Structure formats: C-alpha cells, structure tokens
C-alpha cells in the first residue's frame, strides 16, 4: 500500500516558490502535450489584427497564471488527500495552457502581462482561503472559476480574427479542458455557488481582462 509522503512546512514553502517561479518566469513551463496550434497554418494578419489577437491571448495567459495559483493555494490547505491530489493534477494540466498561450503571444509579437505576479498572489490567497473554509467550498470555487473561464473563452473565440486559426485551436482545446475540470470538481462534491457569489467573481474577472489586454 502506497504511503503518502509527508512534507515539512519548509518543504511546502520551497515547492510553492518553485511553482510560482515556473509559472511567472518566461518559458519556464514545459507542456506535456504539444500546442494545438502546430497543426494549423500560419496566416498573414495585419498589424492591428495581430496586436488584437496578442491582447486576447495575453488575457488567457493571465487567466492560466491565476488558475495555477488558485490550484496551488487550494492544494496547500485542502484537508482530504483526494481533494489535494485533484488540485495538483488540475494544476499540472493547466501548465499546458500556460505554455501554449505564452508561445502564441510571442509568435504574435506580444509579451505576457506585467501584472501576472499581482494576480498570482491574489489568486493564491483566494485558493488557500477556500481550502481553509472546507474542501466542498474549495471544489465549488474551482467549478465556478472554470465556468467563468469557459465564458471568457467563448467570447474570445468570437473576437479572434478569422484568419488566426492557431490561436483558435489553442482556445478550443482549452475550452474542452476547462469544462472538464469544472465537471470533475462538481462531481467530487463541490458546492454550487449562489448567483451573488458568481457575480462578484465575474466583476473580479472583468478587472483582470480589462487591465491585461494592454499591459
């Protein structure tokens, strides 16, 4: 029978610092899956369309930074090992999205948002707080967050330049993955949040998307 490894507080701190560095430093995340963009042709776009696509992908990249921090914060404070393992597994899958978005931003001539460290810290704190309240709340927060991400992805799929098939392929795969994460969280006993809570989360998301489109 496998025995779960026990980490000291210092071990946990170092692991969190390593994850934060791999999330925030350029080209640090190594995806387990190749980017869906590699199967799509590289279309010629105007400078304006390229800049617009880069802005949308920058928003999605920051969203993945937030997701990574959220999962790490929840894994730190989750009570049940199964919930903690689920958070860590989801975070590992989000690394793919993080790397894909960064690669595409660079290809479009852009760069990730300079506000990523701020949003990482905020999301980590929210995730840790949710985990402290209860695993049910923690899982519910994942589901609500992923549903919000899916909504943004749907909007961005409509706003992308028609020629940008590479960015579209990335967002479509992300949409499938995020929806699955939400269903897994609810299936594991996640709390379905009330409308006022979801509205508050959408307001916070609006701040993130508005600021990171350009910076």
181 is in an annotated binding site: yes
Q: How far is CA 183 from CA 34, 61, 85, 109, 178, in A?
A: 24, 22, 16, 35, 9
163 known ligand binder: no
Q: How far apart are the C-alpha atoms of 153 and 173, rounded to whole Å? A: 10
Inter-residue long-range contacts of 150-158, CB under 8 Å, 24+ positions, other chains counted: 150/175, 150/178, 150/179, 150/182, 152/59, 152/60, 152/63, 152/205, 152/209, 153/60, 153/178, 156/56, 156/59, 156/60
Please check if 146 is assigned to a binding site: yes
Phi and psi dihedrals of 5, rounded to 5? Answer: -70, 135
Length of the chain: 215
As annotated, the binding site includes 64, 94, 97, 146, 178, 181
As annotated, the binding site for Fe cation includes 64, 94, 97, 146, 178, 181
């Amino acid at each position: 029978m496998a025995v779960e490894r026990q980490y000291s507080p210092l071990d946990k701190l170092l692991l969190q610092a390593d994850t934060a560095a791999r999330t925030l430093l350029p080209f640090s995340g190594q995806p387990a899956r190749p980017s869906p963009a590699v199967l799509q042709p590289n279309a010629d776009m105007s400078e304006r369309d390229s800049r617009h696509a880069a802005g949308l992908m920058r928003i999605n990249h920051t969203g993945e930074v937030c997701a990574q921090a959220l999962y790490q914060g929840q894994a730190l404070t989750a009570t049940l090992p199964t919930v903690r393992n689920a958070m860590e597994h989801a975070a590992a899958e989000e690394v793919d999205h993080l790397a894909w978005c960064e690669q595409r931003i660079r290809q479009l001539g852009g760069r990730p948002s300079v506000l990523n460290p701020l949003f990482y810290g905020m999301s980590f704190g929210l995730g840790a707080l949710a985990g402290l309240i209860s695993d049910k709340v923690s899982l519910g927060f994942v589901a609500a967050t992923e549903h919000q991400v899916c909504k943004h992805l749907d909007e961005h799929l409509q706003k992308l330049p028609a020629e940008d098939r590479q960015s579209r392929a990335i967002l479509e795969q992300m949409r499938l993955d995020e929806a699955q994460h939400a269903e897994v969280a609810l299936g594991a006993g996640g709390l379905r949040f009330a409308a006022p809570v979801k509205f508050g989360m959408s307001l916070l998301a609006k701040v993130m998307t508005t600021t990171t489109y350009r910076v």
